Chains A and B, each alone.
Chain A
Amino acid sequence: MAESRVDPSRRRFMKGAVAAGGAATFAAGYSDPLLKMGKGLSGSAGEKPEHRIHGNSLTPEYSVDPESGELTLNPDQRVAFTVCYGCTTKCGVRVRVDNATDRVLRVAGNPYNPLSADEHLPMRTPVAEALRGLSAHGDQGQHNRSTACARGNAMMAQIDSPFRVTHCLKRVGARGDREWQKISFEQLIEEVCEGGDLFGEGEVEGLRAIHDVATPIDPENPEYGPKANQLMVMEATDYGRSALLKRFAFNAFGTRNYGHHGSYCGLAFRMGSGAVMNDMQKFAHVKPDIQNARFLMYIGSAPSQAGNPFKRQGRLIAQARAAGTLDYVVVDPALNASASHAADHNRWVPIRPGSDSAFAMALIQWLLDNEGYAEDFLELPGQAAAESAGEVTHSNATHLVIDSEGHSRRGHFLRVSDLGRAEAGSDGDVPMVMSESGELVDSESVMRAALFVDREVSLADGARVRVKSSMTLLREAAHEHTLAEYAAHCGIPEATIVELARRYASHGRRAAVNCHGGMMSGNGFYAAFAVQMLNLLAGNHNRKGGSAPGGGQFNGTGSGPRYDLADFPGKRGPQGIFLSRSRFPYEKSSEYQRKVAAGENPYPARAPWRSLAPPTLTEHLPSALDGYPYPIKAVIGCMANPLYGQAGLEALVADKLADPRRLGLFVAIDGFLNETNRYADYIVPDSVMYEVWGFTGAWRGALGKMTTACWPVVEPRQQKTQEGEPVSMDSFFIAVAKRLGLPGFGDEAIPDAEGNLHPLDRAEDFYLRAAANVAMQGEPLPAADESDIAHAGLAPLLPKLERTLKPEERGPVAYLYARGGRYEDFEAHFDGENLTSAWKRTLCVYNERVGTSINTQNGQRNRGVPCHSLPKLADGRDMRGVFSEEEWPLLAFSFKSNLMNSYAIGLERLRMIKPYNPVMMHRQDAERFGIAHGDTIRIESPGGSVVALALVGEGVMPGALGIEHGYGHRDLGATPHVIDGESQPDLEWLRAGININDLGFEDPTRSVAGTWLEPISGASVRQGLPIRVTRLAA
């Protein structure tokens, strides 16, 4: 250990330049010029730049007179507002376009958009004034910037990428061979709809044959629903177009099966949040009010490294630490950009991957034992009490839960009806509480109730049952381990845990926690439930400086003031169960009933049925390919890439996906060929960002109500249909629906407020009518004037408005697009200490739905309060019981990159800064395994093996190996595809680095094939994958 004598502050300098690119630092400037001198190079032999001083720098988009502030537009360029697809934050951006070439020159933020500008401009601001406000005039532009991040800046290269697909493609040869031929859009639509012997491999059922909403898939299991469910539709996420995709899938075609990336993104977190917020349908979540908070704990999330909204929280946290208003800690296995010594009052606390439930339950234990919780708030038993106390809502902390072993109502709240004093399910059938004087009373009848109750009561039927308050159940769960045990498990010293708990408690309702993707572990649901419980114990929901549910959206695609985009003549509702067997109790399935009738133990089910979980893509695809509960016949994917995104999926399903007998038809809609749509039969070339229509919102991270609008600010580069429309997701679904005669598309598809029907023949028929709904709901927006139209580059949009909308709608819609959306004015968003956008449901210390659900793999009831558990496999066994620490001594985890994402590897301006992702290994582990900084190592897991470069240091938890996400691609340019005999460029650098998901594995305890999924949610486990490492070379 000679190294330990080295001055640590000096030694740490050895970790230079992680992000700004190793080889790509300024230092590169040294060597080459010297070489050139050596060769005697003289004179300027290179190309002559545009300007002798300014070189080839861009011509400014406008100028602002330093004295008068007068703004003069550059007539050769335009600035238009739309959305960025660089991550799921979906920031509003301003795009500079060259008028002559229609090329995007550069991108920055939209000053009206809260995701890009923290104090965003009010809607009433004329666009010219908004542009002036971004200038150097009077330093205005520095006082309130509106920015795009590094990736947001770099993303424009997608448009003219050499890897972009601009033509409809049909595969040549076997699936996955990466060989294609160009076909017309019309041929693609015909073949996809009508099927036939499309590939010389036998008959393929087309969408027309699959579109059968009457015939059951399986008469033995009628709950599976109709044959139409054998079409599965998946997309990456809602980039603003999901409303049209779902209109096709659910309401026109009538399939039940839709999935998106959520189950391999942050689902365990979302469900844990939903459990606290009493929302097991949409799994609402909260974000801290950074500007007013005094103490924040980020657990498995990292403001300024990543997260949503990336820029907004990065900037707010930077401002808060500079102003000294906030203390924060980042609890994460890896050091990231959030912890900065440039300012005080922030700190990184390393934690072992997948052990967050131990850390959170330890904090809960300390808070409960030391009265470190919001007693006044938690004692409010009902809405009446909340209102009289000036609170928006209340919690169920005092509510009594039936807890007698074997009782049929075990796990349910003790309700008025249990005592025979109300009709079950009636309005008055509220939970019971214990009053301060020790009486059993209903929760709406008293202003305060006892927090900790454990006693017997008599029910109406005379039965004696034990009841415990929610808080008692939580306290019991928190005391199942000692602080020392929790500390040993999560790797955070007990003293640190106590110190953090004390600080958290000391800031009262201005302390909050935030978590996200770090919860994607083998017990992620309960970890997130426990972490979010800390917010409830602080009583910080809906509070200034606490946890905010966000301002919501202006919905344009519902039943709006101008058009009804939710309902249409002939609309269908999907029937039957999801492929993922979610949201449906196994106990109601035919399979369960057959087993019970045969006298068999119905548990375990053949594969997990998760009654609490939403439909999960993690189960959809492998289950469908294995035919349980039923096989599928076609997949339509839109920008989805589960094979890259889900740990262990590629190894599990790639061969099956390549087999046309398991899946007849796979259509991918995308501008790029990724690891998943490599296996498609057809590629529909999609618009990429800046070419698309759509509406997006803030993902909880903005306090005000907002909707970002996007429109094609440049002409889509891809093929056109015979009608002259760009081929895209929209035109594909419209064409398929029209060919199959589905409702909701083509003529007479969109009702207006007067009941007249309008066509849906092209994308803008849908999106511009949605825009009219957004612009004209509530107080309608005024009409845009000529100046707005000129300054917001709306000229290309005007003919479309005239062709599609009613005259009175055009002005307000132009006003909307001139500002890139509609946003509630920036204001305080507070009513005293309460947030104006509040969450009104009863907050859950105990979640009754969770506490009465059953794990179908062992027949046991799930816990209704958070608790600590070890990472579990599907049959309930501890992961370490199967994959021992002796054999797999380290735990791999992933973290988000502030530069790269899962689809950005093709952007050379990001690759030049960070070409790849060496893995983070702690010095102690390096010594243990004989590995030095910079060594090439092999990383093996039960499911795969990769080769990586070791980055050895102190910036990671001992025992953990950190992998930045976004590298290790096999497609998206990493392997050339051949189109009409012509190969794409072969750039080996796109293959650089590794993907943690290649270390995922099949869960060996399952009978229907599946990757390792979190038991409650079905979320892909990527935090805490068991691995071992060996040194390959120095």
Chain B
Amino acid sequence: MDSIRRSLLGQLARLSAGAALVPIASLASAGINDQPPRREGDSSKRYGMLIDLRQCIGCQACTVACHIENAAPLGSFRTTVSQYEVQHQESGEVATFMLPRLCNHCENPPCIPVCPVEATFQRQDGIVVVDSDRCVGCAYCVNACPYDARFINERTQTADKCTFCAHRLEAGLLPACVESCVGGARIIGDMRDPESQISRMLDEYRDELMVLQPEKNTLPQVFYLGMDERFVTRPDAEPVALEVLDPHGKEMGYEFRH
């Protein structure tokens, strides 16, 4: 990233990302109030993801692979890649900006304390999950997430979200989105293992990493490299696909609206 775009906001974002890394090294529970105890999962691990936006080509392979792997209902997404048209503030050049999005598996997840039945919880390996046996589909968690990462699954009527493909991680395999990332942008791994690829990259790029909405104090554990700081806060974006038209100009609506 060039120096031109290192504005004040960017400084904040980077500092916040750096701060978020600290508690990981010294065990995650410290200093986080209101969070119920973590349970299940492997307490020796802390999973996180690093997304190297320089290598994201916006192909949506992750979106579709995840959708198939996790049997999400049509029109609901555990991960997707938002694509924006951006203009360079100095040169005026126009380019695309790709922003892969998923659950941030925050260190201080705001979705968990709001659950009235303790269906959603954080595992000891940091993965935020939903127990569908307990979930009543109230959607408090859906609304509590500042990243729009949750939805109510229309089939199960329970809260649904990215699990970092915990079922695959437990089998020693990669999550569908990581495995299918054409540009090689998505890196997952155990941040407690200093030899893991993600640990080494977090170390190497510590000063350049950003997270989304650091001001919310959620301490996201999905880190972005090559981030346009204008997207650290929720972009005030107008959706492009406004109306789906039939050949005569008649509005058809979104096919998969729930």
Which positions in A face B, CB cutoff 8 Å? 8-30, 32-34, 36-37, 41-49, 51-60, 62-66, 105-106, 108, 134-137, 139, 141-143, 145, 147-154, 156, 304, 311, 314-315, 317-319, 321-322, 335-337, 339-344, 346-348, 898-899, 908-916, 918, 933-934, 936, 946-949, 951, 953-955, 968, 987-989, 991-994, 1032-1033
Contact = CB atoms under 8 A, between A and B. Distances in A.
Given A33-B143, A60-B171, A989 B155 contact: no
Contact of B235 (A13, A347, A910): A13
B209 to A, nearest CB: 13
B163 A54 contact: yes
Chain A to chain B: the 7 pairs with minimum beta-carbon distance, closest first: A22-B241, A16-B237, A33-B139, A46-B157, A64-B172, A26-B148, A304-B57
A844 B16 CA distance: 58
A744 to B, nearest CB: 41
B64 A150 contact: yes
A1029 to B, nearest CB: 13
A667 B35 CA distance: 67
Contacts of B147: 26
A151 B61 CA distance: 7
B168 A60 contact: yes
B240 A57 contact: no
Contacts of B204: none
Contacts of A968: 247
A936 B134 CA distance: 47
Interface of B: 1-2, 40, 52-61, 63-65, 67-71, 74-77, 80-89, 92-98, 101, 129-139, 142-143, 147-158, 160, 163, 165-169, 171-174, 176, 178-185, 187-189, 196-197, 226-228, 230, 235-249, 252, 254-258
Given A36-B137, A135-B172, A153-B61, A16 B84 contact: yes
Nearest to B160: A55
A874 B213 CA distance: 59
A12 B152 contact: no
Contacts of B155: 46-47
Contacts of A29: 76, 142, 148-152
A8 B230 CA distance: 12
A690 B131 CA distance: 36
Contacts of B183: 304, 314-315, 318-319
B173 A55 contact: no
A936 B59 contact: no
14 contacts: A24-B77, A25-B77, A28-B75, A44-B136, A54-B166, A63-B172, A66-B172, A135-B174, A136-B172, A141-B179, A142-B197, A335-B96, A347-B93, A914-B241
A20 B179 contact: no
A53 B130 contact: yes
B241 A340 contact: no
A797 B86 CA distance: 51
Nearest to B187: A142
Contacts of A33: 137, 139, 142-143, 151-152
B114 to A, nearest CB: 12
A58 B71 contact: yes
Nearest to B81: A20
B61 A149 contact: yes
B151 A49 contact: no
A994 to B, nearest CB: 8
Given A16-B237, A304-B59, A335-B96, 13 more contacts: A11-B87, A17-B82, A28-B257, A47-B156, A53-B129, A139-B196, A148-B65, A314-B57, A342-B98, A913-B63, A949-B243, A988-B246, A992-B252
B180 A10 contact: no
B185 A916 contact: no
Contacts of A991: 246-247
A18 B254 contact: no
A9 B4 CA distance: 13
Given A149-B61, A1032-B249, A57 B235 contact: no
B157 A45 contact: yes
Contacts of A136: 168-169, 172-174, 188-189
A41 B157 contact: yes
A868 to B, nearest CB: 27
Nearest to B200: A139
B255 A915 contact: yes
Nearest to A12: B87
A567 to B, nearest CB: 42
Contacts of B75: 24, 28, 912
A341 B157 contact: no
B243 to A, nearest CB: 6
B68 A153 contact: yes
Contacts of B226: 322, 342-343
A62 B167 CA distance: 11
B78 to A, nearest CB: 10
A21 B256 CA distance: 11
B156 A340 contact: no
B85 A953 contact: yes
A16 B240 contact: yes
Contacts of B68: 58, 105-106, 153-154, 156, 909
B64 A913 contact: yes
A13 B255 contact: no
Nearest to A151: B64
B118 to A, nearest CB: 13
A823 B158 CA distance: 47
Contacts of B134: 52
A952 to B, nearest CB: 10
